[in-house]
Structure 1
Amino acid sequence: MTQDENPTPEPDLTPGFEELGISGPVLSAVRDLGYETPSPIQAATIPPLLAGRDVVGQAQTGTGKTAAFALPILERLDFDQKNPQALVLAPTRELALQVCEAFESYAAHMRGVRVLPVYGGQGYGVQLSALRRGVHVVVGTPGRIMDHLDKGTLDLSQLKYLVLDEADEMLQMGFVEDVETILAQTPDDKQSALFSATMPNQIRRLAQKYLDDPQEIMIKSKTATATNIHQRYLVVSYQQKVDALTRILEVEDFEGVIVFVRTKNETETVAEKLRARGFSASAINGDIPQAGRERTIGQLKDGTLDILVATDVAARGLDVDRISHVVNFDIPTDTESYVHRIGRTGRAGRSGEAISFMTPRERYMLKHIEKATRQQPEQMQLPSLEDVNTTRLARFDDAITTALDETSRIEAFRDIIDHYVRHHDVPESDVAAALAVVAQGETPLLLDPSNDPLAKANRRQRDDRDDRGGRDRDRGRGERGDRPGGRRDRGDFTPYRIEVGHHHRVSPGQIVGALANEGGLNRHDFGAITIRPDFSIVELPANLDRAVLDRLRDTQIAGQYIEIKPDRFAQNHNKGYRKGGGRDRRGDDRGGYGSGYKGGKKPYRKPRY
């Protein structure tokens, strides 16, 4: 593998996409998306890929790698070929879906381009039907791709382009052996590209073995976010996002706000819900005609509109100095989009606020955001109803003070109030309170804490957790201190047997990666893993949904069907199973699914997602 003597520098005068060799409908789609200048990884990678050379690209997540390989692939598709021409391997279903969406957006002006996402958790029927009809690009996770290869439902004999995306993440999740198995079933004369944020030795060996004299391109990351933008994030479930947004808008002192969502339909839904709560909000997306877009942006600029709910595509090129807040209602899965979004505030030397909503499963994005912006977002607490009421009272006071300054209008109403007091024998304070009721309308000024929807939802979640794990702690299992792991009660997990073990050269990372992708599980859903010669025991949640088990039954690890089923004899397979709930032989507090692993040379630690 050849490597440039120095990392590829960011050019001072970056050529446009047309100069890089992108043309026709692909170029039109790129321009429609608002892309004007290629990112450094795109500028360095697109020319050699268009020239047919293999490439190894090293750049941080969110630097535009998807376009770097998607645009050259789309430029050279053969529409007469029915079998897949391009295969993109991604470590997670989320990334696979994101890459598919990117391909579809870049192919918006091309007729008949078929892109298929292939990942665990989705029924085989949809995937099989699409494969029978014929697809040009397949984007998938290694486990499900191997399933299709084993079933004979995916034909890679005519593959022309192969991309390994986020290769270091695949290594971390234990997919490298699966990736090598897939690579061995692809044509030797294909063109390959490997992209990774880091370049550990195992990834470098993979590139040396399977890529043909690739050009290695390294892009150094740099700070892309202005220091005058204050970044915050809030961990909130999807169902609570609208209520959380409403509460934040109640207490924040804002001028103009852009709320970013993921889909066109959601722009209309969120804007409508905000209007129902009394905010001046409007939606903007790719379906809105240019005249309507310009009218909406004009209203945002002149202050007749306060909140714009937008998609990334619709907000491209938007430049409004009045924007004081950007809210990521849906956190983007790549940091490049994140940086572009929050850059809509903090213009003209002013300070700006960026608030991101993250579900618990999306917290992994924080490390990528910190790397991309070189700033650490601050976790914020959801404002309470008391905070909202305090803010409302303060604004009501300000409104009264402002009205009192309008002396001429006050004098005109003073005689009317005096007349009412004399003829109805009512104290002036009561008349003032009645006028406040008239001005306020049907909406109460102060909210009732007993009817707080967010508090009720949080109480339900706590009750659910208590129902699952709390009861077992009260059944004579001892105090929490008796369990050195201190993370979950033993009753939270059930042991399951899978038919892969040491003889199949399986690793804990492979087990976790395959089950997480196929079953939609997260790291907290795994207890101890014990690997035996011909099988393994994996602890999974005791309340595991039957639909998850159904999906997992078709899963393969190291080319072997796992045939997952509850195991009633785990104690016999490994006496002292999950010793102490979380300590290894050295007495360290490991916890989680690494604590019971006895199959390797050292205790297994959780991978970081």
Structure 2
Amino acid sequence: MSNTDETTAPAPTFAELGLADAVLDAVTSAGYETPSAIQAATIPVLLDGRDVVGLAQTGTGKTAAFALPILSNLDPKDVSSPQALVLAPTRELALQVCEAFERYASKMPGIRVLPVYGGQGYGPQLTALRRGVHVVVGTPGRIMDHLDKGTLDLSKLRFLVLDEADEMLNMGFAEDVETILADTPDSKQVALFSATMPPQIRRLSKKYLNNPEEIQIKSATKTNVNITQRYLMVSYPQKVDALTRILEVENFEAMIVFTRTKGETETLAEKLRARGFNAAAINGDVTQNVRERLVAQLKDGGLDILVATDVAARGLDVERISHVVNYDLPTDLEAYVHRIGRTGRAGRTGDAISFVTPRERYLLKAIEKHTKATPAEMRMPSADEVNATRLSRFDDQITEALNDTAKVEFFRDVVKHYVDEFNVPEVDVAAALAVVLQGDVPLLLEDRPEPVRRERTERTDRDRDRGDRGDRPGRGERGPRESSRSRGNGQPMAVYRISVGKRHRVEPRQIVGAIANEGGLRRGDFGNITIRPDFSLVELPADLAAETYRALEATRISGKLIELRPDEGGGSTGPKGGRGSSEHQDVDGGWSDQARKKPRRKD
């Protein structure tokens, strides 16, 4: 086994790794110069045709470590069946890997890469597969669906990658992964990447990989101690409001707000300007002249907020930047370090705030491990805090205006004339002038209650397609039945019903895997699971986000729509769940005594 420390490893260039010319050209065009430790150690081994087990944390550059050698060895003319298959635990990761392949294949005309995951219609996937693809990137569940239907031919597969293998097994995909490994050609080259090496991963490696080279990357990344790191748990639709409140309450001098895409930089900058903030966007499409002008404005105080992508912010060194906000959390952990390093320069202190959506909790944990730091959780500033800041700012404006004696003297005469003419108290005239100055925008923020996210007040197209089942009495009025339990972090749980049960031959691991994958949930989000003959009861967080709820409604297990809905008291998720109950599992605590007494089906 080879061990590499990210901080001490020699730094070869990509040109020295033996990549194909077209791949090297794409890497150079993308602005990459020096490979990361996992890339430098892995790429030559994979190019040599050997199997690999790579042990490294998320965000250390694993995608390029396997994508670049695979692209270098592909046969561009052969699309009769996929040459490479990458298995990923979630659809988000599958999409990111797919985008990376397309970026690295930008100088290879005709290379086709297809993402395959649940929640997406089969039609586009089937069309692409019939047309022919070189690389398939997918989640185990949907790959198995295609294999069962005979719509995915892996008989000529040359490369197979297991990305985040430990996460896939934790989500209940172990059986699917083993089935895929066993049903593909023995001659294929396999690369397995994992953050940890539990016994199950070790067993997989010994059984399905051929004398693999084990490469372990020891990360020693630390962030600037002058930077205070915080995070805010927030749903995606809340991000703009959360950022607006933070901008009003935080005492910042200048700020960079990082987004994941070029389009989002423009959209967010426009929204901020509409709310009265001095913001501009910078991304890869911005010309050098415009970039230089924006940076100069940021330095001299002509611009306060720069909304940027990672690429556009490279090399940006402005001492005035006091805050960095990760509006979109980066999936590359080195990018996180580089982002927050834009503040706290030249011995100054800085603040880094990251927005974390519920499905990105795993990234937060990976950041903590990678940076050897624990960001502190913060809460969204309340309306009272925002209003206190606005009133204080209003006081400062009045004080500043009073210092301009010439203008004050002029308007004093104007106000005196009005008071004498209309016999109105001076304080009322001052208030009326403030109204005129303020315009249609209210000075104070209304403290609107948070919407109940689990309520469904709108009918979707899917509701209509299902015969208006979303309009059943009580469906939108009553939330899920509250569970008596809460998770270890105090998160309240609720009981949900899904339309698959014992007769559909489902097991708890399948339920956990499907719901976690499609809803972006983690293993710790699950409570008890009770399987009945025709349905199952699952404990999930009581405050499921609306987008998560919609995604789960369209989820399928064993080809059947689960039709997630709140349970309104018709059963219990406890071990004594009533007559006809089947297997019961607490995802944290393992199988209950009841489940152990019942032999599991060996399908």
1:108 Cα deviation from its structure 2 partner:
2.8
Name the counterpart of 1:321: 319
Equivalent position amino acid for 2:512 in 1: V
Match of 1:497 in 2: 501
Structure 2 partner of 1:578: 574
Residue identity in the other structure for 2:511: I
| 1:530 and 1:599 in contact (8 A); partners too | no
Residue number in structure 1 paired with 2:67: 70
1:591, distance to aligned residue in structure 2 (A) = 8.6
Partner of 1:607: none
Kept after mapping to 2: 8 A contact 1:528/1:597: no
Query: Which one of 182, 185, 191 corresponds to residue 184 of structure 1?
Result: 182
1:90-113 CA-partner distances (Å, limit 9, x unpaired): 111121111112222222333222
Whole-Å separation in 2 of the counterparts to 1:188 and 1:325: 53
Match runs of 1:165-180 below 5 Å: 165-180=163-178
1:103-124 per-position Cα deviation (integer Å, ceiling 9, x unaligned): 2222233322211111111111
In structure 2, the residue matched to 1:476 is none
1:377 Cα deviation after fit: 1.3
1:276 aligns with 2:274: yes
Higher relative contact order by CA 8 Å / sep ≥ 6: 1 or 2? 1
Give aligned pairs, total.
558
Q: Single out whichever of 331-340 and 242-251 deviates more from structure 2.
A: 331-340
CA distance in 2, matches of 1:432, 1:184: 80
Equivalent residue in structure 1 for 2:39, among 12, 24, 42: 42
Match of 1:332 in 2: 330
Q: Distance in 2 between matches of 1:293 and 1:390?
A: 36
Kept after mapping to 2: 8 A contact 1:323/1:344: yes
- Provide Cα deviations, 1:176-212, integer angstroms capped at 9, x if missing partner: 2211111122222222111110111221121122222
Who is 1:56 aligned against?
53
State how far apart, in whole Å, the 2-side matches of 1:550 and 1:121 are: 6
2:352 aligned residue: 354
Q: Please list, as runs of the form range in 1=range in 2, the aligned pairs for 1:379-394 lying within 5 A after superposition.
A: 379-394=377-392
Look up the equivalent residue of 1:308 and give its one-letter code.
L
Provide the C-alpha distance between the structure 1 equivalents of 2:164 and 2:24, rounded to a whole number of angstroms: 25
CA RMSD of superposed structures (Å): 3.9
Q: Percent identity?
A: 63
Structure 1 594/55 Cα, relative in aligned 2: closer, same or farther at 3 Å?
closer
Matched residue, 1:27: 24
Unaligned runs of 5+ in 2: 457-474, 579-584
Q: Unaligned stretches of 5+ in structure 1?
A: 474-478, 583-588, 605-609
Structure 1 pair 25–540 and aligned structure 2 pair: CA distance change class (3 A): same
Name the residue aligned to 1:109. Answer: 107
Change over 3 Å in CA distance of 1:466–1:356 after alignment to 2: farther
What SS class does the counterpart of residue 496 from structure 1 fall into?
A: coil
Displacement, 1:495?
Answer: 6.5
1:373 aligns with 2:377: no
With the length of structure 2 as denominator, give the TM-score of the two structures. Answer: 0.81
Aligned to 2:462: none
- Asked whether the 8 Å contact 2:23–2:72 carries over to 1, the reply is yes
Structure-1 residue corresponding to 2:581: none
Alignment match, 1:600: 596
- Once the 2 structures are TM-superposed, how far is the Cα of residue 166 of structure 1 from its aligned partner? 0.8
Question: 1:339, CA displacement in angstroms?
Answer: 2.3
Structure 1 counterpart of 2:529: 529
Cα gap change, 1:242 to 1:311, in 2 (>3 Å): same
Change (3 A) 1:593 1:273: farther
Partner of 1:241: 239
Q: Residue 172 of structure 1 contacts residue 509 of structure 1 at CA under 8 Å; is this kept in 2? A: no
Match of 1:468 in 2: 478
- Paired letter, 2:61: G
Alpha-carbon distance in structure 1 between the residues aligned to 2:597 and 2:330: 39
Larger helix percent: 1
For the residue of structure 1 that corresponds to 2:270, the secondary structure is helix
Partner of 1:252: 250
Q: CA deviation at 1:23?
A: 5.3
CA spacing shift, 1:158–1:285, aligned 2, 3 Å? same
Separation in structure 2 between the aligned mates of residue 421 and residue 488 of structure 1, nearest angstrom: 60
Give, in whole Å, the separation in 2 of the partners of 1:188 and 1:391. 66
Segment of structure 1 superposing worse, 144-153 or 318-327: 318-327
Shift of 1:393: 2.6
The more displaced of 30-39 and 322-331 is 30-39
1:443-592 aligned at under 5 Å gives the runs 444=441, 446-449=443-446, 452=447, 455-456=448-449, 458-461=450-453, 467-469=477-479, 488=493, 492-493=496-497, 496-499=500-503, 501=505, 508-517=508-517, 528-530=528-530, 538-540=536-538, 551-552=555-556, 555-556=557-558, 578-579=574-575
